[in-house]
Structure 1
Amino acid sequence: MAININNLQNSSQVKNDKVEQNVQRQQTTLQQNVAQNATQKQDSVSITPQAQQFSKLTEKANGSSGIDQEKVDKIKQAIAEGRYKVNVEQLARRIVQFESELFGKK
């Protein structure tokens, strides 16, 4: 059996060429995948209508003082004119209720 020594170098060159082609093909595929993923992955945020409404109400609440000035003015005027009457029984009941809730006794 004879071995052809001349063809050994050619076959190794063919193998090297095939390896280089495979590496280049893999690199091209990898670059395409990276480019495709970069265009597909875009972050986005959406706010629900309930969250938008909540935000508006929060801003409105922060902007108000929490005092019904119109009601305060009416009571001041009623006191000044002597028309404001205090229901002492109701006041006493509410004081007792407040203290029982405050101290946990009923």
Structure 2
Amino acid sequence: MTRSVVVPWAALAPGRPPRPQPGDTLLRLAYARPELLRRRGLRWRLDQFPFGPVHPWFLNDVVRYHADRPGHRAAIGSEAGRRWRAALRADAARVAPPPGPASIG
């Protein structure tokens, strides 16, 4: 059975998620409106998701940025959004190297 969770922007708590600690492997979300979550199949935790091949700080910063700025969500996937993502990626690389063999992007 496929398990999935859809997290609408409106469900996320403002100012979250915080940046993870070194060694963390999960994105930890906090919800202001958990009733907006839609899930399919069984999933034990609806607030923790693996990072995958993305730098943890990058993923957290992008989710927090867009959760706090609804007007900027339209740029996701656009040329302006790609330029912004490249700038974030460069900033994250200056702050801390990615853990292990994972890469950003």
TM-score relative to the length of structure 1: 0.20
Q: Which has the larger radius of gyration?
A: 1
The structure where helix makes up a greater share of residues is 1
Question: Relative contact order (alpha carbons < 8 A, sep ≥ 6): 1 or 2 greater?
Answer: 2
The structure where strand makes up a greater share of residues is 2
